[in-house]
Amino acid sequence: MTKKERYAGIIEYFSEHQPNPETELQYTNPFELIVAVVLSAQCTDKRVNMVTPYLFDAYPNANALAAATQEDVFQIIRSISYPNNKAKHLVGLGRMLIDEFNDVVPGTIEELVKLPGVGRKTANVIASVIHNLPTMAVDTHVFRVSHRLGLVSLKAKTPLTVEKELVKEFSDDIIPKAHHWLILHGRYTCLARTPKCEACGITALCKSYPKIQKYGHKAVDEKLPKIG
């Protein structure tokens, strides 16, 4: 199977089974989404969704967040991973949104990464979800799944190189959906420790599946790049 055929098959499968994939983070506007995405770094969406209602009730907009203290924000998000750093980032993010972006979440990667706590992955999520731009955020799920499926080469050893290979193959209109397809597939089916190959609908398209059947997923994963 060629890479082109693999991509085509995956697009066909997910277009039928998940035609409108969406982020599982709960939000009602761009401000809430960027805050939620910053909180989601190295933390589950489920945990973030448990905390953000209280955070948004206390700080419903950038103005309110900009006026907050780091300690007050920390008290609300303390159950999130790295709460000290994230509390500092969120207060700084609120202030920068007001001072430099007129209370508007920017729409370009170059502007988004200027915000505290916003790296390239977070910026790509915002650009894709809010502005429907062809940006591919590469988290641990996307990194793992794209390698297992054979969507990217073994030379793609960093999130950025994986991102570049994926956006080269997926068309611009598909990239925002593909981002969610790969994340959700990694979150619920192609798990890191115990992939549910028996429940997977795309084993026929998976480059790793024949080897997993023969040697087991651990032996196969040992030869694939690990996200740094």
Which of 121, 155, 168, 218 is flagged as catalytic? 121
How far is the C-alpha of 75 from the C-alpha of 175, rounded, in Å? Answer: 37
Answer whether residue 6 shows pLDDT above 70: yes
| DSSP single-letter state for residue 68 | S
How far is the C-alpha of 208 from the C-alpha of 205, rounded, in Å? Answer: 9
How far is the C-alpha of 119 from the C-alpha of 121, rounded, in Å? Answer: 6
Length of the chain: 228
CATH fold label, 30-129? Endonuclease III; domain 1 (1.10.340)
Answer whether residue 141 shows pLDDT above 90: yes
Reduce the DSSP state of residue 132 to 3 states and report it. coil
Please check whether the two domains, 30-129 and 136-221, share a CATH topology.
no
How far is the C-alpha of 41 from the C-alpha of 203, rounded, in Å? Answer: 29
Structure confidence by residue, pLDDT tens digits, 177-211: 999 999 999 999 999 999 999 999 999 999 999 99
Answer whether residue 75 shows pLDDT above 80: yes
pTM for this structure? 0.91
Over residues 161-175, the mean pLDDT reads 97
Is 43 known to sit in a ligand binding site? no
Is 200 known to sit in a ligand binding site? yes
Answer whether residue 228 shows pLDDT above 70: no
Is 206 known to sit in a ligand binding site? yes
Q: Which CATH class is domain 136-221?
A: mainly alpha
| DSSP single-letter state for residue 79 | T
Structure confidence by residue, pLDDT tens digits, 95-135: 999 999 999 999 899 999 999 999 999 999 999 999 889 99
**Residue 131 pLDDT:** 87
Which of 86, 139, 177, 221 is flagged as catalytic? 139
139 classed as catalytic: yes
86 classed as catalytic: no
Residue extents of the structural domains in the chain:
30-129, 136-221
DSSP labels, 199-215: G-TTGGG-SSHHHHHHH
